[in-house]
């Protein structure tokens, strides 16, 4: 394949942010080239959460990538919060008139990849040593190596959609950037198992032994998590030990319905809140995990990537169609306003649901009171609901 030497927007990263941005720009007739470090197979091998907000569904519909999501996705009108041995349903549809769709992030990535291939969009996989150049000039460019050959891609703008370990955020000088971070004193041990879900909807469990989450990928495939220590290793946790601990944290009804099976994937992920400001430097714009990380408790990672690229695509379209820089100049502040609200919600859900190893008696009482107040107040429930289904763009 002859690689392009110029494009309007160079997108770094073919995860959900990069792929969705590519399709939103394509729909508007704006040329973009995606440079992805890994192979397509590698990207599709990642197991990621799959709770899709209504806003994200709308964007996927805009680019014609929601057909399988509507066919195979599971519409969830609520979740359950479990603590003190009892479960409390939070009915999003009744509280805020909206729902979410449970559909694996991997499937969204697959749908976007296929759409990009179908429309002839250029994605260069296994692009190594990507370096951003002259990002504060009017003629930025990117260099990279692919199949042992050196390449240069000239562009008008660069979209850094290369995740938390990418090159884009690192291309912004430290004295320009402000970083805000909180790490949590625990991780999530998760398994994927081909057994029916414990319940029709997700169960988020607070327990003195630690948090647990019963999620799913379909009616026949479950995704189960338990909070674990930061120094735990996957090899420390046999399936039997995992299920034994999970059962100690769930209510009796859930335990009775849990079908134990051999895990087909098992991994531990740390929890972190992270925001880098600004999300723009010259002609470089950050979107998705490249700019922020949220703990998975609020299921916001994918959905924040989507709202970032909604704002960024709208700004770039305004630039090319109306020759206005207003949108791109406002992008960082606009995106961050929504990012911080999702960061707050994810922090609040994490603080309310997890056992903090060194928490004082006072902090434990406050946590229990937070839960009691939540399930006893329609206003509190409505607040959780509007954040979980997704705040407006």
Nearer of residues 36 and 80 to ligand APR, judged by Cβ = 36
Smallest gap from Cβ 247 to ligand PHB, in A, equals 19
Question: Could you list the active site residues?
Answer: 76, 204, 296, 300, 388
Nearer of residues 223 and 338 to ligand PHB, judged by Cβ = 223
Smallest gap from Cβ 162 to ligand APR, in A, equals 4
Q: 216 pairs with which residues across the strands? A: 222
The option from ligand APR, ligand PHB, none interacting with 12 (CB < 5 to 8 A, set by class) reads ligand APR
The Cα–Cα gap between 128 and 379 comes to: 50
Residues that bind ligand PHB (CB under 6 A): 49-51, 202, 215, 223, 296-297, 299
Strand 263-277 versus strand 292-293 pairing type: antiparallel
Nearer of residues 167 and 371 to ligand APR, judged by Cβ = 167
Nearer of residues 269 and 391 to ligand APR, judged by Cβ = 269
Residues that bind ligand APR (CB under 6 A): 12-18, 35-38, 43, 48, 105, 127, 130, 161-163, 165-167, 288-289, 301-302, 305
Contact (Cβ atoms closer than 8 angstroms) between residue 187 and residue 232: yes
Smallest gap from Cβ 296 to ligand APR, in A, equals 7
The option from ligand PHB, ligand APR, none interacting with 21 (CB < 5 to 8 A, set by class) reads none
The option from ligand PHB, ligand APR, none interacting with 172 (CB < 5 to 8 A, set by class) reads none
The option from ligand PHB, ligand APR, none interacting with 161 (CB < 5 to 8 A, set by class) reads ligand APR
Nearer of residues 304 and 371 to ligand APR, judged by Cβ = 304
The option from ligand APR, ligand PHB, none interacting with 79 (CB < 5 to 8 A, set by class) reads none
Contact (Cβ atoms closer than 8 angstroms) between residue 62 and residue 74: no
Q: Provide the token pair at 262.
A: 């051999």
Contact (Cβ atoms closer than 8 angstroms) between residue 147 and residue 111: no
The Cα–Cα gap between 367 and 354 comes to: 9
Nearer of residues 78 and 166 to ligand APR, judged by Cβ = 166
Strand 122-124 versus strand 78-83 pairing type: unpaired
Smallest gap from Cβ 12 to ligand APR, in A, equals 5
The option from ligand APR, ligand PHB, none interacting with 223 (CB < 5 to 8 A, set by class) reads ligand PHB
Smallest gap from Cβ 251 to ligand APR, in A, equals 28
**Residue among 112, 103, 104 at smallest CA distance from 46:** 104
Nearer of residues 28 and 234 to ligand PHB, judged by Cβ = 234
Contact (Cβ atoms closer than 8 angstroms) between residue 96 and residue 77: no
**Residue among 335, 352, 334 at smallest CA distance from 388:** 352
Smallest gap from Cβ 58 to ligand PHB, in A, equals 20
Smallest gap from Cβ 239 to ligand PHB, in A, equals 18
């Amino acid at each position: 394949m002859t690689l392009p030497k110029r494009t309007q927007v160079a997108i770094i990263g073919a995860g959900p942010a990069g792929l969705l941005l590519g399709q939103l720009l394509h729909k508007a007739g704006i040329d973009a080239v995606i440079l992805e470090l890994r192979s397509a197979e590698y990207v599709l091998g990642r197991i990621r959460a799959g709770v899709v907000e209504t806003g994200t569904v709308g964007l996927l519909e805009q680019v014609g990538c929601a057909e399988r999501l509507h066919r195979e996705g599971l519409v969830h009108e609520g979740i359950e919060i479990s603590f003190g041995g009892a479960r409390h349903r939070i009915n999003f549809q009744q509280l805020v008139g909206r729902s979410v769709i449970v559909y694996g992030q991997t499937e969204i990535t697959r749908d976007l990849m296929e759409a990009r291939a179908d429309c002839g969009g250029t994605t260069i996989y296994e692009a190594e040593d990507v370096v951003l150049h002259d990002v504060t000039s009017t003629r930025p460019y990117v260099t990279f190596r692919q199949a042992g050959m050196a390449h240069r891609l000239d562009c008008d703008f660069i979209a850094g959609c290369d995740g938390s370990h990418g090159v884009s955020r690192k291309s912004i000088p430290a004295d320009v950037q402000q970083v805000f971070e909180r790490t949590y004193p625990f991780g999530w041990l998760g398994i994927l198992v081909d057994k029916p879900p414990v319940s029709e909807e997700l169960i988020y469990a607070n327990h003195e032994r630690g948090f647990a989450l019963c999620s799913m990928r379909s009616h026949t495939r479950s995704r189960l998590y338990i909070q674990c220590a930061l120094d735990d290793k996957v090899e420390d946790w046999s399936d039997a030990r995992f299920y034994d601990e999970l059962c100690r944290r769930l209510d009796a009804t859930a335990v009775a319905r849990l079908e134990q099976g051999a895990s087909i994937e098992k991994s531990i992920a740390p929890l972190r809140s992270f925001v880098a400001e600004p999300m723009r430097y010259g002609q470089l714009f950050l979107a998705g995990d490249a700019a922020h990380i949220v703990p998975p408790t609020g299921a916001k990672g994918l959905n924040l990537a989507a709202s970032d690229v909604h704002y960024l695509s709208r700004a770039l379209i305004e630039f090319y169609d109306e020759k206005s820089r207003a949108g791109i100049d406002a992008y960082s502040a606009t995106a961050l306003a929504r990012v911080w609200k999702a960061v707050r919600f994810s922090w609040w859900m994490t603080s309310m649901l997890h056992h903090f190893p060194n928490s004082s008696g006072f902090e434990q009482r406050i946590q229990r009171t937070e839960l009691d107040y939540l399930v006893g107040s329609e206003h509190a429930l409505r607040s959780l609901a509007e954040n979980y289904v997704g705040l407006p763009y």
